Amino acid sequence: MLLRLGYDIQFDIPSPVAMVALLNVHPSRAADLREPDRLQLEPPTKVEEYIDSFGNRCSRFVAPQGILRLWNSTLIKDSGDLDPANPDARQLPVEDLPPDTLCYLINSRYCETDRLSNIATELFGHIAPGWSRVQAVCDWVHAKVTFGYHFARVTKTALDVYTERTGVCRDFQHLAVTFCRCLNIPARYVTGYLGDIGVPRDPNPMDFSAWFEVYLEDRWWAFDARHNQRRIGHVLMAAGRDAADVAITTSFGVANLKEFKVICEEVLQEAGSQSLAAVRSTSA
């Protein structure tokens, strides 16, 4: 399966400002790209790329005053399969976990493990460790939290989500990540593309998606507390402790968002490098 990925984001910049963007496909998916994956800036601006401490591909630049456009279009090959699953995947004792997973067991900006530990134990402590425990966390969050864009709040933490029982995509994942960490399951927040492939089309304008991953047995596995189902076409862009680590753009000064469009479509037939003959899933 081929997926057309892209975005068109515009800012009004009152005065020159340094910015960092995490808008590229994650290095772990680089071999699947069938076209270049380059951040394009208008007006043309010097961009420096680097890999951050979580292994994400980042771009830094100084945005000039005026209207700044960030855009890209690329093509990636995907298996077309549902997210891998292994109901028998074991939860490892903390002492046996790889060292690089340990940072995903502790507090972070939006995931207060110290304040939700007792609650997590009460809710899920009786469930056998491993895959079934993670699925129980997803089932609970999916059932108890109500989704709505008007519930969005940049300061909302996992504890707020548990208390208010409302949120947007990232809030569902923050609460699930926190519960898993409280249960000694390494969990990390991830962001990327997820088109409406194999599911009814979402009537809302498309956005980048958030889900989370847990470390069980010997690898990371994708889960999604908002949709709570295995999906086709997850394309990872960035992973971190929570949303603070994987912001799509970070400006070190004022940058006013003016326009935001995202696309993730399945290409059924391609006629040339840029034109699509047909797509099965389209964004608004």
- CATH number reported for the structural domain that contains residue 225 in this entry: 3.10.620.30
Examine the domain organization and report whether 56 and 119 are in the same domain.
no
Specify whether 33 is located in the same domain as 75: yes
What per-residue confidence (pLDDT) applies to 205?
A: 86
- Residue numbers of the domain that contains 227: 94-245
- Smallest CA-to-CA distance from 109 within 194, 178, 23, 11 is with 178
Structure tokens at 170: 């990232």
In this structure, what CATH number is given to the domain that contains residue 48? 2.60.40.2250
- Distance of alpha carbon 86 from alpha carbon 43, whole angstroms: 47
Domain count, the chain: 2
Q: Could you read off the pLDDT tens digit of each residue along the chain, which spans 284 residues?
A: 999 999 999 999 999 999 999 999 999 999 999 999 999 999 999 999 999 999 999 999 999 999 999 999 999 999 999 999 999 999 999 999 999 999 999 999 999 999 999 999 999 999 999 999 999 999 999 999 999 999 999 999 999 999 999 999 999 999 999 999 999 999 999 999 999 998 998 888 899 999 999 999 999 999 999 999 999 999 999 999 999 999 999 999 999 999 999 999 999 854 444 443 333 333 33
Residue 84, in any domain of the structure: no
Three-class SS state of 271: strand
CA atoms within 13 Å, Cβ hemisphere of 57: 15
DSSP string, 94-105: GGGS-GGGGGGG
Name the nearest CA neighbour of 43 among 63, 22, 61, 60: 63
- Domain-embedded: residue 284: no
Whether 67 contacts 11, CB under 8 Å: yes
165 is a domain residue = yes
- H or E element in which residue 138 lies: helix 131-144
- 66 lies in the same domain as 137: no
Nearest to 193 by CA among 238, 226, 154: 238
Same domain, 234 and 251: no
